[in-house]
Amino acid sequence: MTTATPPTSAEQPLRVAVDGGELAATVWRADAPGTPVVAIHGITANHRSFSPLAERLGAPVLAVDLRGRGGSRALPAPFSMVQHAEDVAAAMRAAGFGRAIVVGHSMGAYVATRLASAHPELVASLVLVDGGLPLRPAPEGSDLSPEDVLGPAIERLRMTFPDTAAYRDFWRQHPAFGPYWSPAIEEYVDYDLVPDAREESEGFALRPSANPDAVVANLVELDGRGGYTEALEALELPIALLRSPRGLFDESPGLYDDEWLATWRSRLPGLEVDDVEDTNHYTILMGSGVDAVAAVVARLQAAGQGSRTEGAR
């Protein structure tokens, strides 16, 4: 959605007490009118992936670093989707949000679904950005490891880098990022880099913020196990899915091929699906696809869904 006058993007950091410590978050336009938006990032990501979307919305936006990622990387297990949903609910209460439009990207879409299932009073509608539907099962007899599924994403979490320039260079080689590099991607990448205490004896080093144990714990949940599929099918609220035609490495098809999507459309007859052309799994949110995401959120806001908590900041 393009506007003649971009909304103000004033943002405030937020620290939220949760089990085991504090959750890091950011609130954009805390006192603005309009339906609030809650944003939940992907499996190895951080909340800065939503900066481009927050810039396009005029209402309050809350985005969190999930447990084991970004500024919340020190939080301990459990790292389950159910725990993430409870953490997000705590952040919503701390930010003074009532019922909100909840936007989840990739794994964040699964967390959004768990949030809607556990706390229906907090979720007016869901916007699932290239995620949220259980992934197609691996071929029978295959024994895929997390490294097989996420490939370099897992390998990256075990690497160290001497400085931000080296980390930027690493990402510039990524087929889904490099050709689409932008200031927004650079800011997201820079935020992701943190000191690595394990390397102190060998000199200063930096590493990606995501805890590999947290990532692997969530990876195994993406097939819909543990009651997730049943929770998704039981939801009674508007659900919009935005699908990218290309995947994690800019390959085709993306996460949800036409046949698999048709299966889930038959199981979720109320699911609204929008294909966001010329995007991959990342640029649908941090590149050219963000306007399509903003347009869906704006449409739901115009429908009057959601509210602010009485007395919110």
Q: What is the pTM of this model?
A: 0.92
Amino acid letter, residue 44 = T
Query: Is the pLDDT assigned to residue 4 strictly greater than 50?
Result: no
Please state whether 137 falls in left (phi above 0), alpha (psi between -120 and 50) or beta: beta
Q: How confident is the model at residue 203 (pLDDT cuts 50, 70, 90)?
A: low
DSSP state, residue 308? B
Angle at alpha carbon of residue 13, lines to 121 and 120, rounded to 5°: 10
Domain boundaries, the chain: 11-136+213-302
pLDDT band at residue 303 under the 50/70/90 scheme = confident
Span 95-135, pLDDT tens digits = 999 999 999 999 999 999 999 999 999 999 999 999 999 99
For 174-194, the pLDDT digits (tens) are 999 999 999 999 999 999 999
95 Cβ neighbours under 8 A, 6+ residues apart: 14, 25, 27, 30, 36, 60, 62, 312, 313
Q: Name the CATH code of domain 11-136+213-302 (choices 3.40.50.1820, 3.30.70.2660, 3.40.640.10, 3.40.50.970).
A: 3.40.50.1820
pLDDT for 231 beyond 80: yes
The conformational region for residue 52 under phi > 0 = left, psi -120 to 50 = alpha, else beta, is: alpha
Residue whose tokens read 């620290």: 15
With tokens 């809650």, the residue in question is 38
Residue pLDDT, tens place only, 272-300: 999 999 999 999 999 999 999 999 999 99
Residue pointed to by tokens 């400085």: 163
* 217/77 Cα distance (integer angstroms): 9
DSSP string, 121-166: GGEEEEEEES--SPPPPPPTT----HHHHHTHHHHHHT--BSSHHH
Whether the pLDDT of residue 2 is over 80: the answer is: no
Tokens found for residue 90: 């705590």
As a dihedral over the C-alpha atoms of residue 196, residue 200, residue 201, residue 207, rounded to 10 degrees, the angle is 20
Q: For all residues of the chain together, what is the average pLDDT?
A: 90
Q: Residue written as tokens 């970004």? A: 70
Over residues 135-177, the pLDDT tens digits come to 988 766 666 555 566 666 778 898 999 999 999 999 999 999 9
159 vs 44: CA distance, rounded Å: 14
pLDDT band of 39, cuts 50, 70, 90: very high
- pLDDT at res. 196: 84
